[in-house]
Amino acid sequence: MRELSSDKPRRRADIQRRTFLKGAGVALLLPRLESLGQVAGAESPRRLLTIVNHLSFYQPELIPQTDGAFENPPPLLAELSDHFDHLKVFSGLDNPAVQNGFGHTPCVGILSGYFNKLHRKNRLSIDQAVADRIGAGTRFKSLVFQAGENLNFSQISWDKHGLPVHQIDSPRKIFNLLFQVDENEKTQRQVLAEDRSILDAVSAQAKSMEKRLNATDRAKMDEYLTSVREVEKTVKRRAYWADRSKPQVNYEIENFDRKSVDDYVGTLMDLAVLALQTDSTRAVTVQIPFWEGFKEPDLIGNYHDLSHHGQKPEKIKKLLMLEHAILKRINASLSTMKERTVGNSSLFDQTTTLITASMGSANAHNFDDLPALVFDSRIKTSGHWQRKDVPMGNLYLGLLRQFGAEQDRFGESTSAFDLLS
């Protein structure tokens, strides 16, 4: 397998400080914009990068055997050693409201802490809960990168109504969405104008009916109008950004091998960093590929098959080759974030990064014993904490509070983790 290193030429991420943007929508080389945290003394906005490995990691090689400092880190965890000073590792976490079994389907509940096969709707996921708080001032409230096929069990992000958030499964589509001028711009403006006209008519009609409704129907109408207002906000947001140029970056999507960790995971991570750096969004979620074809070009066996290793040493050896490559690429992206200055500090300093997994073990198909790695430059004490059977919601609530939330619960939480102490 090819060596993956952060020292290799960064063909994707050669973005020079304060010269990578030309569009008016983000950060020109003109005045520093207070709303983007660029005025001297202004506090930089907080951002969230969430990375989910659907197939988990081979935890005996990832999780330390003891609590405390990273004195003898396991081999997989050691791939992230460049950032140990800013890392807390939690293990043994549980999602008690995720029903076990049913193949991979319960993986949809990793970020919401909920799955019930009898309910089509889910619950608000942590990435979207944070996005609801920090995403109002950017072109996209959040972005979700789904690597590979959009299967029923690959959905991991859910809005406050429990509905799936759109996932993008093509790096080229992501790049075009972030940085390319839309060839159908005129048509889009016309559609937006029509959308606004329809919403105005719907609102006017609803208000004219309101006096004739009984209490039950009035409650239904209020719920309906709330949904209309949310759509109206979306339309206004799209109209606002339609009049503003997209940022231009020194980055190209080359022909890449969808089976390769460096090419595919690397490209997704590059685009996640770029999306945050250009302030196109402040919340990005990336799911690591897990379909049958994903493998290193020179490796016999694919990720999904190898993750179901049956404790066979030869399969585990090949599995670890893939997972070392994945974590090396994530480590390189975290290093890139430290090098990129946005406003008054590095992108890494402004971003909380969460790495977790949809299963404790793909081999066992269990949805407890979950790992979570939290990177944040504000962390005072790094290390490993085993939290056997503690709800993942406790971590999510602690994360949500880092973004200014004051709520007492998230999902099945019983208390909030102190992530920065």
Q: Where are the domains of the chain?
A: 34-181+245-401, 183-244
Lowest mean pLDDT among 83-97, 168-182, 186-200: 186-200
- Look at the chain and count its residues: 421
What mean pLDDT is predicted for residues 122-146? 94
| pLDDT at 21 > cutoff 50 | no
| pLDDT at 206 > cutoff 70 | no
pLDDT at 74: 98
Q: Which two tokens stand for residue 97?
A: 């409201």
CA angle 73, 77, 79 (to 5 degrees): 110
Closest CA to 94 of 288, 285, 359, 355: 359
pLDDT at 117: 80
The tens digit of pLDDT for each residue in 211-230 reads 677 877 777 767 666 666 66
The partner residues of 384 in beta bridges, in order of sequence, read: 68, 89
The amino acid at 93: L
pLDDT above 90 as % of the chain: 49
Q: CB within 8 A of 320, min separation 6: which ones?
A: 58, 61, 75, 76
- Each residue of 274-303: b (16+ CB within 10 Å) or e? bbbbbbbbbbbbbbbbbbeebbbeebebbb
| String of DSSP letters for 141-202 | S-EEEE-S---GGG---B-TTSPBPP-B--HHHHHHHHHSPPTTHHHHHHHHHHHHHHHHHH
d(CA 187, CA 255): 30
Which stretches within 35-124 are classed as H helix? Answer: 75-78
Main-chain phi, psi angles of 44, to 5 degrees = -70, 145
The partner residues of 94 in beta bridges, in order of sequence, read: 391
Closest CA to 327 of 372, 270, 261: 261
| pLDDT at 33 > cutoff 60 | no
Closest CA to 362 of 400, 402, 319: 319
d(CA 245, CA 174): 16
The partner residues of 87 in beta bridges, in order of sequence, read: 375
What mean pLDDT is predicted for residues 334-341? 96
Angle between helices 313-339 and 266-277 (to 10 degrees): 20
| pLDDT at 46 > cutoff 50 | yes
Using only C-alpha atoms, what is the Rg of the chain?
22
How many Cα atoms sit within 13 Å of 14 on the Cβ side? Answer: 8
d(CA 94, CA 97): 9
The tens digit of pLDDT for each residue in 230-280 reads 666 665 666 665 667 778 787 877 777 777 888 888 899 999 999 999 999
Closest CA to 77 of 89, 94, 95, 68: 89
DSSP state of 40: T
CB atoms under 10 Å from CB of 230, counted, come to 13
The tens digit of pLDDT for each residue in 150-159 reads 566 788 999 9
Q: Which two tokens stand for residue 100?
A: 């076990």
- CA end-to-end distance (rounded Å), the chain: 39
- In the CATH hierarchy, which top-level class contains the domain 34-181+245-401? alpha beta
DSSP state of 209: H
d(CA 75, CA 380): 24
Q: How many helices (H) and strands (E) does the chain have?
A: 10, 11
CB atoms under 10 Å from CB of 314, counted, come to 11
d(CA 59, CA 316): 11
Q: Highest-confidence range of 298-302, 332-336, 365-369, by mean pLDDT? A: 332-336
pTM metric for this prediction = 0.80
CB distance 366 to 100 below 8 Å: yes
pLDDT at 375: 98
For tokens 């988990």, name the residue: 56
